[in-house]
Amino acid sequence: MADFETPALKPWPEIPPIEIGAMSHSKPFAAKPEHQQNIGFPGELIDDWQQVAIDKLGELVNNSRALRVFLDSCVKCGACTDKCHYYLGTSDPKNMPVARQDLLRSVYRRHYTLAGKLFPSLVGARDLDRSVLDEWYSYFHQCSQCRRCSVYCPYGIDTAEISMAAREIMDTVGVGQKYCNEIIGKAQTIGNNLGLPEPALANTLEGLEEDIEEETGVTVRLPLDEKGADILLVTPSADFFAEPHVDGLIGYAKVFHQAGLSWTLSSYASEAANFGLFIGSYDNMQKLTLRIREAALELGVKRIVFGECGHAWRVAYNFLDTMAGPFDFLDRNYPVPQHICEVTYDLIQRNALKLDKSANDDMVLTFHDSCNVSRASRMGDFEGGQFVIPRAVIQASCNHYVDMPADTIREATFCCGGGGGLLTDDLVELRVKGSLPRMEALKQVVDTHGVTHLAAICAICKSQFSKILPYYGFEMDQIVSVHQLVGNAIVLGEEH
C-alpha cells in the first residue's frame, strides 16, 4: 500500500487548484481469469482488444439514449468541475466529472463522430491505445457513481452512466476489477456477496436471536426460508455480520416483531446489493435481480422489503420490475418493492410502534444521505420522500438530531467515498481522500452542535465510515445504522 497523507480538515470547504497526475497511480487489483470467466468475460486482455472495445462502445451507444446524448451534449461549461468528492479530496483534474467523461468521450469522438475523424486534435479526440486503456482503468475506478455531478449538469449528464459503460467495455476485453467481479460471481452462485452458505447464515441468525433474547428477555425471530411468510426481506449480506450493520438487522427484526408482521429472509436471495450495476453489466445485474424474483415465488410471499443499502435500493426501486417483473403475484396494496424505512415510517405514522427516544440519549445524531437513495431513487409517495422519511424515522427514535450543512445533504449529499465498487483495501488512499467533503461537513456539526454519531442507511457507507473515520480523528463506532436507533428505542412486548 502506497503511503499517503490524510487531507487536513478545513473549517470550510475549498476548491483546490488542479494537480495534474495526483492520483494517476491509483488502480484497483485486477480480476483473476476465473473471476472474469465466472461472469461471462474473457479471462485476460484479448488480442484484438482495441477493435473489440471500439465495437463495444458503438454497441453501448446504440443501446443507450443516455450514453449517446451524454457523449454528444457536453459543452465543457465547467459546472461539474468542483462537484466530485474525489476531485475535492485529491485535486487530480481527471477526477473532475467532465474530465473523467472525456476519457471515454475522446475515443467516442475519434471513432464515431465526423469532427473527431477529420480533426482529432481540434476536438480532443484520441485513438484507443494501451495508455488510454490504463487511464480508463485508473480513473473509471475513481468514480463512485454517486450522481452528484448529474444534479448540477445543465443537461443532466450522469458520469455514473459513463463510468459504467467504460467498465463494461474493459470487462468485455478482459480487463476487470477483482473486487466487483469476484463478488458478483459469489452472489450469482452462493446467493450473497460474502459467499455465506445457508448453514452459516442460519447459524448466524440463530446467534442473533439468542443475543436479542439475552438482552431484552423477548423472543424476536429472524426467520430464514420460511414458506408462507408475508414479507421477503432482502438485505445486504453485510447486515449479517458487520458492525454497525448487524445492529440495523436487529432493528428490522424488532420492528417486524413488534408490528406483528410475518417475514422471512431467503438463503437463495440473501443479498440486496447488486454489483452488476457498478460494472454496467445489464446481464449480470439481471441475473441477481432474478434470484429475488425466484425466491419470492418459491417462498410464496406477498411483499418484498429491502434493508438498508443505497445502490441496492436504486436497483430495487428503479430496475427490479423492469428486469425481473412483472410482480403481479405480490400484494399490490403495497409498493413493490418497499424500503424498510417506508415500513417503519408507516408504522410510526399509525402509532403501531412504541419508541422510547431516551434510549438513544447518549448520542447526538446527524444523517448521511446515501448517494443512490438521494439521487437515484425515492421513498414514500411524494417527491423528496427519500430525505424526509429516514429523518422522520431517526427523529422518532432519538431526542438529539442535527442536520449537516445544507450544501452537503439531501440531493447535494457527498458520497461516503467508498461507493460504486470501490470499497476495497487496494483503494484505501482514494477512499480516505474522497471522504474529505463528508468529513468536513461532519466536523462542522461535531464542533458546533456536539454531534457524536453519524447515521446511515447504506451498507457501503457504514463499512466505509467504519474504516475511514479514524483517519480523520474520529472513532470507528461513530457510524450507526438507522434501524439500530429504532432497535434501541423500540419498546418490545407491549401491545401493538
Q: Between residue 117 and residue 136, which ones bind other proteins under the rule CB under 8 A?
A: 119, 121-124
Q: Please, what is the minimum distance in Å from the beta carbon of residue 80 to other proteins?
A: 7
Q: Does 268 contact other proteins by CB under 8 A?
A: no
Nearer to other proteins, 373 or 398 (CB): 373
Residues of span 335-394 touching other proteins by CB under 8 A: 335-337, 374-378, 381-384, 386-387
Residues of span 60-89 touching other proteins by CB under 8 A: 61-66, 68-70, 72-83
Show the binding pattern over residues 159-198: x = contacts other proteins (CB under 8 A), - = does not: --x-------------------------------------
Residues of span 270-289 touching other proteins by CB under 8 A: 282-283, 286
Among 52, 290, 352, 402, binds other proteins (CB under 8 A): 290
The Cα 417–Cα 375 span in angstroms is 15
Q: Does 214 contact other proteins by CB under 8 A?
A: no
Q: Which residues contact 233 (CB under 8 A, 6 or more apart)?
A: 252, 256, 263, 264, 265, 305, 306, 307, 340
Q: Does 233 contact other proteins by CB under 8 A?
A: no
Q: Does 254 contact other proteins by CB under 8 A?
A: no
Nearer to other proteins, 150 or 192 (CB): 150
Q: Please, what is the minimum distance in Å from the beta carbon of residue 410 to other proteins?
A: 8
Name the one range near other proteins by CB under 8 A: 56-64, 239-247, 261-269, 454-462: 56-64
Q: Does 147 contact other proteins by CB under 8 A?
A: yes
Residues of span 422-481 touching other proteins by CB under 8 A: none
The Cα 88–Cα 435 span in angstroms is 9
Nearer to other proteins, 238 or 304 (CB): 304
Size of the site for other proteins (CB under 8 A): 77
Among 53, 57, 96, 166, binds other proteins (CB under 8 A): 96
Q: Does 114 contact other proteins by CB under 8 A?
A: yes
Nearer to other proteins, 216 or 286 (CB): 286
Q: Please, what is the minimum distance in Å from the beta carbon of residue 336 to other proteins?
A: 6
Q: Please, what is the minimum distance in Å from the beta carbon of residue 68 to other proteins?
A: 5
Q: Please, what is the minimum distance in Å from the beta carbon of residue 50 to other proteins?
A: 21
Nearer to other proteins, 327 or 401 (CB): 327
Q: Does 4 contact other proteins by CB under 8 A?
A: no
